[in-house]
């Protein structure tokens, strides 16, 4: 019996053989007895979608299939309005750390998901707000991380940081990553931050190339309030350029004395998984843990 009856499909915009990939997934879904609805922004007008209905909001679907890599998943998450429906991701990217199914396994696994074999894995979001005096520069959320970094080559930035209104330190570095446990295996990991199990209620602060050896990553409670004040130094021609980035997809320029506040968002993202905890298996498969370096 079909658990998810109305299936939305979105796909990586620049995916090679997009229509072939979509056609294969559509065939599997329809053979399972579910209806298919296409993302008009990513597939609309393509030959593979001409005879298929489109969805305009998640209220019209029960499950969102995302065909692509981690970037496509992060984009799909950002476009959800209320995070009500679960996401099932089919990897057509390079690593696909967030993806649940490899494309070649979809024929066997996808029908089982549609009949209710999977479990829901909820992931917390960061709420990020930047203020310039009394003016809001940006307000948004991130599944992986918020990054405050210098936007020019070989210039450090000072980021005065407090946790729950208690001073922590002023990071003198290329930047600062504020990551969720989900994002601990993304930019945080490549910058020397720790891997944190996604079920933990935590937030990770990882400086990017800090100028001081004593400034190391720190893991704090997820319900903490982190405030970062940008302290730029006057240069000969202009201030150091500083940029705030959310999940590598939303960018905004910052100025001196801008204040960025990061807290845990009230919403969470729902991923459909094969079992309750596939994290260690994903580490072995995606990061090649335990394999010889030869």
Q: Are strands 6-11 and 35-38 parallel, antiparallel or unpaired?
A: parallel
Q: Tell me the C-alpha distance between 280 and 294, whole Å.
A: 23
* Residue 54 per-residue DSSP state: B
Determine how many CB atoms are found less than 10 A away from the CB of residue 125.
21
Q: How far is the C-alpha of 109 from the C-alpha of 2, rounded, in Å?
A: 14
Which residues, at least 6 apart from 211, have a Cβ–Cβ distance to it below 8 Å? Answer: 156, 172, 173
Q: Tell me which residues are annotated as active site.
A: 70
Phi, psi of 191, rounded to the nearest 5 degrees: -100, 10
DSSP 3-state of 131: strand
Residue with tokens 């936007």, as numbered in its chain: 151
Residue 128 and residue 246 in contact, taking contact as beta carbons nearer than 8 Å: yes
């Amino acid at each position: 019996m079909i658990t998810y009856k109305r299936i939305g499909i979105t796909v990586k915009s620049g995916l090679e053989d997009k229509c072939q990939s979509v056609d294969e997934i559509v065939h599997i879904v329809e053979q399972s007895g579910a209806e298919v609805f296409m993302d008009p922004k990513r597939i609309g007008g393509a030959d593979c979608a001409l005879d298929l209905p489109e969805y305009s909001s998640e209220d019209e679907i029960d499950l969102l299939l995302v065909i692509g890599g981690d970037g496509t998943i992060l984009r799909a998450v950002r476009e959800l309005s209320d995070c009500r429906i679960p996401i099932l991701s089919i990897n057509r990217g390079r690593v696909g750390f967030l993806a649940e199914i490899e494309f070649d396994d979809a024929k066997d696994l996808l029908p089982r998901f549609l009949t209710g074999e999977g479990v829901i894995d909820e992931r917390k979001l960061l709420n990020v707000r930047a203020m310039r005096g009394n003016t809001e520069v940006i307000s948004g959320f991130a599944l992986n991380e918020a990054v405050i970094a210098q936007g020019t080559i070989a210039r450090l930035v000072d980021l005065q940081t407090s946790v729950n209104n208690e001073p922590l330190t002023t990071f003198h570095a290329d930047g600062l990553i504020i990551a969720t446990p989900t994002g601990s295996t993304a930019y945080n990991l490549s910058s020397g931050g720790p891997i944190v199990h996604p079920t933990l209620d935590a937030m990770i602060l990882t400086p990017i190339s800090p100028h001081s050896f004593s400034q190391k990553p720190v893991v704090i409670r997820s319900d903490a309030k982190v405030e970062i004040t940008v302290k730029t130094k006057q240069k000969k021609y202009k201030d150091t350029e500083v940029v705030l980035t959310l999940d590598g997809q939303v960018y905004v320029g910052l100025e001196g004395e801008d204040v960025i506040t990061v807290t845990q968002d009230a919403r969470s993202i729902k991923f459909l998984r094969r079992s309750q905890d596939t994290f260690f298996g994903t580490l072995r498969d995606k990061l090649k843990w335990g394999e010889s370096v030869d």
